Amino acid sequence: MDRLIIHGNKPLKGEVRISGAKNAALPIITASLLAAGESSVFRVPDLRDVATMGKLLENMGLSYHYAGGDVSIDTTGIRHFEAPYDLVRTMRASVLVLGPLLARYGKARVSLPGGCAIGARPINLHLMGLEKMGAKILLEAGYVVAKAGRLKGASLYFDTATVTGTENLMMAAALAKGTTVIENAAREPEVVDLADCLASMGAKIQGAGESIIEIEGVDELKPIRGHEVIPDRIEAGTFMAIAGATGGDLLLRGCRPDHLGAVMVKLREAGITFRETKRGIRVIGPEKLAPADIKTRPYPGFPTDMQAQFMALMALADGTSIIKETVFENRFMHVAELRRMGAIIDIDGGTASVKGVGALKGAPVMATDLRASASLVVAALRADGESIIDRIYHLDRGYERMDEKLRKVGAEVERVTS
Ligand code: EPU
């Protein structure tokens, strides 16, 4: 199992190239299931979760190749319509095969994901939508077993805006008979990227990025022809937090500041300066960070996937910040680890009160989930002395070669395999 050894307090300066977005690449890869023949997707990050998705498709009999960010998938050989527990357990996004399999092949058997480190994370809204579109769904021995003739368009409403739920149902509706309307749809840029990809395959979708999406089903879709995945806004936000924590000066290349509105407003409040240049966005950390409050919300609100990294930053600020997590019920697992590094944080339900301490101290800590690990990296880069971050496989699920990118800008980071 790999761990990172970080010696903090080094000045960080230089360029960081932002990778393709994990949470856009995963649904786009599953969209290939909607068409016959060979699809290609570009700017796909080299991540554990992407490799798991590849394994899942190969397990179904598809051919899947990844080379230098380009993915090709051939759906011709498909013979199993199943996402087994072993793969779903390691990556919840596996549930994204449900909509496409049901829409194109009329059957799917997908393991129920179960809870995870950040909350219960049910998929009831995905299932409700598919049932309304005519699918028969049974729960058998921990699996969702779904069958359908051709799905029918339906009027759907989500009580809670769900990202992968919106994506699953948008993909199912693309091949359904008639029109589907999704109200209170998720508005994340990753939903829009998937809709753009589906449109390039021949789907008729209006309103992606707004809270009402209308999909007019078509009889057939073409394979994906070289769709380029959007840049990862959470990776970019994480490097912004790193520049802020270390008083660094980083030029982020290939990122989309228009996807980072709320994050940049809050980072500015904390004292970070942004300069948009022709080559990218320059992020300059202040000498002393100011406190700032956040409340996580669905897009365009402050993303829950940046909450942990922002908390690490506020642990260093000059004053107290209030951090409210409203999307997931258990997303404060990083707090205990940050405290081991000297952070002063009180938790009351979904609210954390963070009393900034100016500087943290290196310590051995444990990564508990993807974004929690990123927050420990932010903290360790600004801690005195050595930090050892264990269970770094969580970080590798969602950040492409983060240790390499950090070394290139002057951080002292070593990966050790034990
Ligand atoms: N929810 C339900 N019922 C459902 C689906 C969701 O009650 O059927 C609730 C959830 O429990 C949660 C809220 O709705 O309270 C929002 O969850 P959502 O479904 O939007 O989350 P997700 O689709 O499972 C995606 C990202 C997450 C990110 C969330 C929120 C992917 C593959 N994953 O998850 O990314 O945190 O949206 O923005 O797109 C990460 O990358 O680290 C990560 C966890």
Label each residue of the chain as H, E or C.
Answer: CEEEEEECCCCCEEEEECCECHHHHHHHHHHHHHCCCEEEEECCCCCHHHHHHHHHHHHCCCEEEEECCEEEEECCCCCCCEECHHHHHHCHHHHHHHHHHHHHHCEEEEECCCCECCECCCCHHHHHHHHHCCCEEEEECCEEEEECCCCECCEEECCCCCHHHHHHHHHHHHCCECEEEEECCCCCHHHHHHHHHHHHCCCEEECECECEEEEECCCCCCCCEEEECCECHHHHHHHHHHHHHHCCEEEEECCCHHHCHHHHHHHHHCCCEEEEECCEEEEECCCCCCCCCEEECCCCCECHHHHHHHHHHHCCCCCEEEEECCCCCCCCCHHHHHHHCCCEEEEECCEEEEECCCCEECCEEECCCHHHHHHHHHHHHCEECEEEEECCHHHHHHCCCHHHHHHHCCCEEEEEEC
* Pocket perturbation via mutation, ligand 1, pick of 94, 125, 164, 194 by most ligand atoms within 8 A of CB: 164
Structure tokens at 357: 């301490």
Q: If you measure from the C-alpha of residue 163 to the centroid of ligand 1, how many angstroms do you get, rounded to a whole number?
A: 6
Q: If you measure from the C-alpha of residue 298 to the centroid of ligand 1, how many angstroms do you get, rounded to a whole number?
A: 9
* Pocket perturbation via mutation, ligand 1, pick of 49, 128, 160, 309 by most ligand atoms within 8 A of CB: 160
Nearest alpha-carbon partner for 327 in 230, 183, 130, 186: 186
Burial (CB count within 10 angstroms: exposed 0-12, middle 13-18, buried 19+), residue 159: exposed
Is any ligand 1 atom within 6 A of the Cβ of residue 387? Answer: no
What was the pLDDT predicted at 153? 98
pLDDT digit of tens for each residue in the chain (418 aa)? 899 999 999 989 999 999 999 999 999 999 999 999 999 999 999 999 999 999 999 999 999 999 999 999 999 999 999 999 999 888 999 999 999 999 999 999 999 986 677 777 899 999 999 999 999 999 999 999 999 999 999 999 999 999 999 999 999 999 999 999 999 999 999 999 999 999 999 999 999 999 999 999 999 999 999 999 999 999 999 999 999 999 999 999 999 999 999 999 999 999 999 999 999 999 999 999 999 999 999 999 999 999 999 999 999 999 999 999 999 988 999 999 999 999 999 999 999 999 999 889 999 999 999 999 999 999 999 999 999 999 999 999 999 999 999 999 999 999 999 7
What was the pLDDT predicted at 113? 84
Ligand 1, atom 4, residue with closest C-alpha: 123
pTM summary value: 0.98
In the block, tokens 């930053």 appear at 313
Pair 385, 344: CB distance under 8 Å = no
What was the pLDDT predicted at 40? 98
Is any ligand 1 atom within 6 A of the Cβ of residue 93? Answer: yes
Ligand 1, atom 20, residue with closest C-alpha: 162
Q: What angle do CA 107, 109, 115 make, to 5 degrees?
A: 140
* Pocket perturbation via mutation, ligand 1, pick of 94, 116, 163 by most ligand atoms within 8 A of CB: 163
Is any ligand 1 atom within 6 A of the Cβ of residue 163? Answer: yes
In the block, tokens 């809709």 appear at 195
What was the pLDDT predicted at 115? 65
Furthest-apart CA atoms within the chain: distance in Å: 62
Ligand 1, atom 16, residue with closest C-alpha: 162
Is any ligand 1 atom within 6 A of the Cβ of residue 124? Answer: yes
Is any ligand 1 atom within 6 A of the Cβ of residue 87? Answer: no
Strands 249-253 and 225-228: unpaired
Ligand 1, atom 2, residue with closest C-alpha: 122
Strands 273-277 and 38-42: unpaired
Is any ligand 1 atom within 6 A of the Cβ of residue 370? Answer: yes
What was the pLDDT predicted at 120? 77
The amino acid present at 79, given as its one-letter code, is R
Is any ligand 1 atom within 6 A of the Cβ of residue 233? Answer: no
Say how far apart CA 46 and CA 402 lie, in whole Å. 11
Is any ligand 1 atom within 6 A of the Cβ of residue 95? Answer: no
Residue ranges and CATH numbers for the domains of the chain are 2-19+233-417 (3.65.10.10), 22-228 (3.65.10.10)
What was the pLDDT predicted at 291? 98
Ligand 1, atom 28, residue with closest C-alpha: 305
* Pocket perturbation via mutation, ligand 1, pick of 121, 299, 324 by most ligand atoms within 8 A of CB: 121
What was the pLDDT predicted at 128? 97
Pair 133, 158: CB distance under 8 Å = no
394 Cα distance to chain centroid: 12
Q: If you measure from the C-alpha of residue 7 to the centroid of ligand 1, how many angstroms do you get, rounded to a whole number?
A: 34
Q: Which residues belong to the active site?
A: 116
